[in-house]
Amino acid sequence: MSLTDLLILLRQDLNQTFRFVGTGRRSEQKSVFRRFLGPIIAIVVAVVIILAVTWIVPLIGWNTIAALISQNLAIGSTLFNIILLFSFIGSIMVSATTVANSQRMEYLMTMPISLRTLFLEKTIIIIVYSSLLWLVIGTPLIIGFAIVSPLPLAFLAIISYLVFMLVLVTIGVAFGGLLGLLFSRIVAGRRRLRQVGYFLMSTLAILFSVIWYYFLYSSEDSALFEWFFQLAEQIGLTSDLTPGYSVSVIILGLLVGADFGLIQILVVGVYALFAGGLAYLNAVVSEKAHYSGWLMSGSKRSSKEEIVIEHEPWDPQPIPGFTFNKTISASIWYNITNVRRESRVFARYLMGPLQFVIFFFIPVLTNPEGMGFFTPFLIIAALIPFSTSYGLYFAGYETVYEGRNLLNLQLAATNMEDYVRGKIYSAVPFTIAASSLVGVLILLVYVSFWFYIPLIIGAAVFTNLASGAVAANAAAIGGDFKAQRMVTRQRGSSVQMPIRGWSILRAQLLPNVIGYLGTFSMIILGLSLGAPFAYLALPIYGVLCWQIMRHYSRSAGLALARIEASEYL
Amino acid sequence: MIEAQELTKKFNEFTAVDHLSFTVSPGETYALLGPNGSGKSTTMRMLLGLLRPTEGTARISGHDIRKDIVAAKRVMGYVPEEPVLPERLTGWEYVNYVADMWRIERGAEREEEIDELLTLLDIRDASDDLIETYSKGMARKIGLIAALVHRPKVLILDEFQAGIDPRGAATIKEVLNGLSSRGATVLMSTHILEIAEQMADRIGIIQEGRMVAEGTMDQLRQKAKGQASLEEIFLDLTGGPDMQMIAQYLGDAGDEG
Ligand SMILES: Nc1ncnc2c1ncn2[C@@H]1O[C@H](COP(=O)(O)OP(=O)(O)OP(=O)(O)O)[C@@H](O)[C@H]1O
Ligand SMILES: [Mg+2]
């Protein structure tokens, strides 16, 4: 393996995403401004953050803040552990996905490099993408503090932050990748197990990280690592060995001039080595996985025996009890089948919202007595990201991933509005399942809330419908219809979204605004005027959502038809 | 030089390539023929290190693909059946990318050579466009240029002519003949039997992953007991169309239309 190879690969990979150089006359030209928009926004955000810090800190007084920080050097440990945790959750299946889709990299695989080098490069690219957010938000914060800090060494904190942040992201990404690969190995060649297994695995991994996070948050000496810390203490190391803690102590220590021990630097060094080792191991295992074919898709023919196949007349009625027109039915059926077939995608979609929900539950879990009355509200609040995300995934992402196929459908004179509706409806069964589960949860913690449970389920479904349409529309406008061509945007990988720019913001923000406002207005109405009033408001909310759904699915349909007419998907 | 020894590839229980052995010497052009799904592409993909053989191995210019695939890849150029290319790079960027990976020295000489290839295949004026805007044939041509730019000793072409215009196909044929007369080893697969007849020094016919006949045109003719054309030989060895089924289908279709 040579570093030069790695650098050439990286440069070309980045060049494909951040294209600053113009192209020939056939290609759609973006203006110079548009091409540099991303970096410009990042710089503007950075400058704003730096200015804000340098303005606010003197207002409060540097000494107050410095004292506060040096007394609680561990305060940042939660924040830094979040970096690790999010990178981990985001990349659980990412290596497995990369290997499974390696046919898309055939031109790279015939180059005179080992596949290990290639997979290492892909891991690095994923690390780079996963760290962008922390780079744009975290760096200016530290820069701001370094500017106001009177300490000469404070600027070292900036460099430490950059390096340590990469270490944390690397651990998260590489560990997540390895876990996914390990799992693929376990279920390799077992179709049924694979279906169920991928699903359970992704779910467990997310749950595990939630629990882990909870322990980190709720106690300084994490219970989960207790045995580890005890061991460490016995051999003379202090506790608090989580990566986030050590990193936090050094960075904040540099900023405010608080002491940190040599041991902390050592620990971070060990973590850095560990990160590098994990990333390399990830590449090695990916290479093995590729050659052994664990991840071979089962879709290709692999048996020569003649199997008698009877084709039934095809008339899908995907949601029992409802009759839709043919286009809608086919669309629902196709969407669900398509998502379900790849269980890692399915799991990602169904369980993904848990990441947001973590935040809602932390206060409840860490302080159950104090939250008492608010608990059911928090649970309801936690449900809403599920209804909105299911809309985003099933109607938004899937519209994008269907890509070229949409073109064929339009040639077949399919009504795109109906087709979009099908995608929107396809998320409803899952929303009902999720909200029923939430209903049970509420019954367990707060029985007197039982009256609101049907309301909550109804509201969730309506929110879901509206969200799906908003997301589908955003996808039609700002979808990257060739998302599959990039490792980080492929189906089932959650590093980058298949919808770009402002569109993804719209697709995520608007539905949540609708969901929270609507649902809580009804509940507040119920609590203040009497529960039946909430139910009186439900139809109004329903009609509102239905109108939103109709409006946006129509406009999504039109936008898709326009794309077909003007440019190849 | 390609020396395939008992190459075998199994996908689960299904054997796609079954103990296939053949040799292609420097300066020789070898055509693999066979029905759809007979294992031509799978064989090539094993030689290139894209798939690992279940059994057997091969040596490319003396490098064992099991032991030193990187060295083997360094001497090979490959034109895949379905070109998968970096869509967000321009043709020019991609070819230079490949040249970089093979450590062809940057500079005027390299640029001239790439320019020459682009002109030869009539896609010079599209070379600054993103590959995603290319037609199928254009993408193949860029793929071919990328395979040639590092002057490979061994060329592997999987249906290189598919989707290429006649002028382009004729150009490629000439280029391949030229390279092979200068000592390059060429392995290709094709369904166009005239191409095989015109270009190949030797032909291997495979079916269900096994070699059913191999040799020069003359040797094959002898084997097929006097059949004159390669098409007749091919159909004789691998089975012709099922006339009865065809008649039945046409009869059914006729009732409706
Ligand atoms: N990844 C895979 N998984 C399972 N089976 C595969 C895979 N790749 C190829 N096969 C099977 O191996 C057999 C040989 O395929 P191959 O692509 O080598 O055929 P081919 O001779 O190139 O055919 P064509 O003339 O259509 O290009 C086919 O039956 C195919 O279904
Ligand atoms: Mg083939």
* Number of structural domains found in chain B: 1
Max mean pLDDT among A208-222, A283-297, A377-391 falls in A377-391
The total of other beta-carbon atoms located within 10 Å of residue B94's CB is 24
Note the pLDDT of residue A467: 96
CA A568 to chain B, closest CA, distance in angstroms equals: 9
Whether A161 contacts A138, CB under 8 Å: yes
Q: Which residue has the tokens 């449970």?
A: A453
Note the pLDDT of residue B148: 93
Looking at the complex, does the CB of residue A236 fall below 8 Å from at least one CB of chain B?
Answer: no
Looking from the CA of residue B38, the nearest atom of ligand 1 is 21
Note the pLDDT of residue A367: 56
Question: Which is higher by pLDDT, B225 or A568?
Answer: B225
Max mean pLDDT among A96-100, A362-366, A481-485, B172-176 falls in B172-176
Sequential DSSP letters for B199-216:
H-SEEEEEETTEEEEEE-
Confidence of residue A223 (pLDDT cuts 50, 70, 90): very low
Beta-carbon pairs below 8 A across chains A and B: 97
Whether B133 contacts B162, CB under 8 Å: no
- Of A104-118, A272-286, A402-416, A529-543, where does mean pLDDT reach its minimum? A402-416
Measured in Å, residue B207 CA sits from the centre of ligand 1 at 12
Q: What is the rounded CA–CA span in Å between residue B196 and residue A550?
A: 59
pLDDT digits (tens, 9 = 90+) for A230-280: 544 454 434 466 777 788 888 888 888 777 778 888 888 999 999 999 999
pLDDT digits (tens, 9 = 90+) for B1-29: 999 999 999 987 789 999 999 999 999 99
Q: β-pairing, B154-158 with B76-79?
A: parallel
Mean pLDDT of A471-495: 81
User: Is the pLDDT score of A519 beyond 50?
Assistant: yes
Q: Is residue B80 part of a domain?
A: no
Measured in Å, residue B38 CA sits from the centre of ligand 1 at 7
User: Is the pLDDT score of B227 beyond 50?
Assistant: yes
Q: What is the rounded CA–CA span in Å between residue B131 and residue B94?
A: 9
Q: Is residue B30 part of a domain?
A: yes
Q: Is residue B81 part of a domain?
A: no
Looking from the CA of residue B17, the nearest atom of ligand 1 is 14
Residue nearest to atom 25 of ligand 1 (CA): B36
Interfacial A residues in 207-226 facing B (CB < 8 Å): none
List the CATH number of the domain containing B63: 3.40.50.300
Q: What is the rounded CA–CA span in Å between residue A9 and residue A111?
A: 10
User: Is the pLDDT score of A381 beyond 80?
Assistant: yes
Confidence of residue B216 (pLDDT cuts 50, 70, 90): confident
Q: Which of B38, B68, B100 to mutate to test the interface with A (most CBs of A within 10 A)?
A: B100
Q: Which residue has the tokens 């203006």?
A: A31
Note the pLDDT of residue A75: 59
Note the pLDDT of residue A515: 95
In this complex, the residue of A5, A113, A302 whose CB is nearest that of residue B14 is: A302
Average pLDDT of chain B to the nearest whole number: 89
pLDDT digits (tens, 9 = 90+) for A157-198: 899 999 999 999 999 999 988 988 887 777 666 666 666 666
Ligand 1 lining (C-beta closer than 6 Å): A 296, 300-302; B 11, 16, 34, 36-42, 81
Confidence of residue B88 (pLDDT cuts 50, 70, 90): confident
Measured in Å, residue B208 CA sits from the centre of ligand 1 at 10
Q: Is residue B162 part of a domain?
A: yes
User: Is the pLDDT score of A456 beyond 60?
Assistant: yes
Note the pLDDT of residue B241: 79
Max mean pLDDT among A225-234, A457-466, A522-531 falls in A457-466
Note the pLDDT of residue A510: 93
Note the pLDDT of residue A444: 80
In this complex, the residue of B11, B74, B80 whose CB is nearest that of residue A302 is: B11
Q: β-pairing, B29-33 with B2-11?
A: unpaired
Looking at the complex, does the CB of residue B133 fall below 8 Å from at least one CB of chain A?
Answer: yes
Task: Name the residue of B12, B17, B32, B41 whose CB sits within 8 Å of the most ligand 1 atoms, as the mutation to test its pocket.
Answer: B41
Question: Which has the closest alpha carbon to A557: A425, A423, A404, A419?
Answer: A419
What is the edge-to-edge ordering of all strands in the sheet holding B14-24? B14-24, B2-11, B55-60, B63-64
Measured in Å, residue B101 CA sits from the centre of ligand 2 at 26
Note the pLDDT of residue B45: 94
Note the pLDDT of residue A262: 82
Mean pLDDT of A498-525: 90
Q: β-pairing, B55-60 with B63-64?
A: antiparallel
With 0-12 / 13-18 / 19 or more C-beta atoms within 10 angstroms meaning exposed / middle / buried, residue A358 is: buried
Range of the domain at B210: 2-75+152-256
Q: What is the rounded CA–CA span in Å between residue A441 and residue A530?
A: 23
The interface pTM score, or ipTM, of the predicted complex is 0.90
Q: Is residue B198 part of a domain?
A: yes
pLDDT digits (tens, 9 = 90+) for A399-419: 998 887 777 777 677 788 999
Whether A417 contacts A557, CB under 8 Å: yes
- Of A131-140, A389-398, B221-230, where does mean pLDDT reach its minimum? B221-230
Mean pLDDT of A430-434: 90
Note the pLDDT of residue A238: 40
The number of the ligand nearest the C-alpha atom of B80 reads 2
- How far from A179 is each of A183, A296, A339, A486, B170, CA to CA, in Å? 6, 18, 22, 22, 51
With 0-12 / 13-18 / 19 or more C-beta atoms within 10 angstroms meaning exposed / middle / buried, residue B234 is: buried
User: Is the pLDDT score of A218 beyond 60?
Assistant: no
The number of the ligand nearest the C-alpha atom of B37 reads 1
Looking from the CA of residue B209, the nearest atom of ligand 1 is 14
Note the pLDDT of residue A448: 80
Looking at the complex, does the CB of residue B211 fall below 8 Å from at least one CB of chain A?
Answer: no
User: Is the pLDDT score of A219 beyond 60?
Assistant: no
Average pLDDT of chain A to the nearest whole number: 81
Angle at A248 between CA A246 and CA A254, to 5 degrees: 105
Note the pLDDT of residue A235: 44
Mean pLDDT of A428-440: 88
User: Is the pLDDT score of A299 beyond 60?
Assistant: no
CB contact under 8 A, B13 and A302: yes
Looking from the CA of residue B81, the nearest atom of ligand 1 is 27
Note the pLDDT of residue A568: 59
Mean pLDDT of B63-72: 93
- How far from A377 is each of A350, A412, A443, A518, CA to CA, in Å? 22, 47, 12, 14
Mean pLDDT of A65-83: 73
pLDDT digits (tens, 9 = 90+) for A542-563: 999 999 999 999 999 999 888 8
Looking from the CA of residue A304, the nearest atom of ligand 1 is 29
Looking at the complex, does the CB of residue B128 fall below 8 Å from at least one CB of chain A?
Answer: yes
CA A162 to chain B, closest CA, distance in angstroms equals: 29
Mean pLDDT of A420-440: 90
- Of A37-41, A52-56, A217-221, B81-85, where does mean pLDDT reach its minimum? A217-221
Question: What whole-number percentage of chain A has pLDDT above 70?
Answer: 79
User: Is the pLDDT score of A303 beyond 90?
Assistant: no
Whether A434 contacts A383, CB under 8 Å: yes
The total of other beta-carbon atoms located within 10 Å of residue A328's CB is 24
Q: Is residue B182 part of a domain?
A: yes
Note the pLDDT of residue A263: 81
Crossing angle for the helix pair A501-529 and A531-566, nearest 10 degrees?
Answer: 170
Q: Is residue B65 part of a domain?
A: yes
- How far from A529 is each of A373, A455, A526, A537, A538, CA to CA, in Å? 18, 16, 5, 12, 14
Which residues of chain B does A25 touch, with a Cβ-Cβ cutoff of 8 Å?
128-129
Q: What is the rounded CA–CA span in Å between residue A268 and residue A241?
A: 9
Note the pLDDT of residue B238: 79
Whether A118 contacts A108, CB under 8 Å: yes
Mean pLDDT of A413-431: 90
Note the pLDDT of residue A416: 87
Which residues of chain A does B51 touch, with a Cβ-Cβ cutoff of 8 Å?
291, 293
Q: Is residue B121 part of a domain?
A: no
Note the pLDDT of residue A214: 58
